[in-house]
Amino acid sequence: MPEPVVPPGVRTLEVLPRTPAPPPTEQTFARKPSWLKVKASFGPNYRELKGLMRDAELHTVCEEAGCPNIYECWEAREATFLIGGERCTRACPFCQIHTGRPEGYDTDEPRRVAHAVARMGLNFAVITGVARDDLPDGGAWLFAESVRQVRALLPACGRSLLPACGVEVLVPDFRGRAEALRQVTDVAPDVLGHNVETAPRLYKRIRPGFSYAGSLELLARARAWLPAGCATKSNLILGMGEERQEVLEVMADLRSVGVELLTITQYLQPTREHLNLQRFVPPEEFAELKAEAEALGFAHVESGPLVRSSYHAGQMHKAAVRKQRGELPAWAAAEA
């Protein structure tokens, strides 16, 4: 299979000027606008999963990160798990995860994630992880083994409880190692996500250690190597200093490498030590960008102030497969 080609005109970081740290604005430490407030809704599935997690002493990104969509996602029996440890070898200034040399390499983690998925009776699981530049494969085996473990365990968990479960992986760039990415695509996750997050002009400051062109290349390779029925996905965060035209150009770049699913989100500054928030983006602008993205041909777009990259993950995969083959994916068909 020929190597995918990065779209013409995409510049590598070496020719981009370093972006200075954005200063605070009036909105940096202002009160959050009304559209960022969420009302808790405790449905029966949410209450059941909450009890299961408490009894089993399990933890999800949904809880640890205080995701505003936890009530809705858990009610749909969708959840996100973080693998690879609590320390990341990258230092993105907008991210809450601690930077440092990871401690240990937990090869039993994929088995525990699979058991958590089964215990929770999930319809769709998202598995994300920290960057592990200390490992030769960048942590690729952990992602691949997590998918294998989930799929191997599901039939033994009682089909009346959990007929099938879709699996999405949200991966780092593996330092551009094609063989590492191939480990993950070979297990054919239902969705392979890799987030570009922002415009290439801002990468030096916002995504140190990452390459915009390298991220596009990863997504192009993933689309070329994944079978039909699988989808590729990415995320854009607004409010970090990007310009509207830059957002449109990034969306076009993502479509040019075959990305089918897109989430567009609002940056919320975790602490005063993190990257300064530049602005709160109004819901109307998110709606406009959603329309622009859909016009480019994305199979499904989630765009809004409270959207996160794993929001409506199962619904997004259903939309991609419907567009590809005119049918539901196997996990959703079993659920129905």
Distance CA 270, CA 262 (A): 23
Q: pLDDT, tens digit, for every residue of 180-226? A: 999 999 999 999 999 999 999 999 999 988 999 999 999 999 999 99
Q: Which amino acid type is present at position 77?
A: R
Q: Would you say residue 16 has pLDDT above 70?
A: no
Distance CA 308, CA 30 (A): 21
208 within 8 A of 9, measured Cβ to Cβ: no
Maximum Cα–Cα distance across the chain = 57
Q: What is the pLDDT of residue 1?
A: 40
Q: What is the pLDDT of residue 25?
A: 79
Q: Would you say residue 291 has pLDDT above 80?
A: yes
Distance CA 320, CA 103 (A): 37
200 within 8 A of 87, measured Cβ to Cβ: no
87 within 8 A of 130, measured Cβ to Cβ: yes
Helix axes 212-225, 178-185, angle to 10 degrees: 40
CA 111 from chain centre, in angstroms, equals 21
196-216 in b/e form (b: 16+ CB < 10 A) is: bbbbbbbbebbbebbbbbbbb
95 within 8 A of 137, measured Cβ to Cβ: no
212 within 8 A of 334, measured Cβ to Cβ: no
Within 8 A by CB and 6+ apart from 42, the residues are: 71
**Number of H-type helices and E-type strands within the chain:** 12, 9
| Antiparallel, parallel or unpaired: β 191-193 and 300-303 | unpaired
Q: Where in 131-188 does DSSP place strands (E)?
A: 166-170
Q: pLDDT, tens digit, for every residue of 231-260? A: 999 999 999 999 999 999 999 999 999 999
Q: Where does the pLDDT of residue 139 fall: very low under 50, low under 70, confident under 90, or very high at 90 and above?
A: very high
Q: Would you say residue 301 has pLDDT above 60?
A: yes
Per-residue tokens: 25: 């604005």
pTM for the full model? Answer: 0.86
Distance CA 142, CA 26 (A): 42
Q: pLDDT, tens digit, for every residue of 202-212? A: 999 999 889 99
- Closest listed residue to residue 25, CA positions, set 284, 197, 236, 240: 240
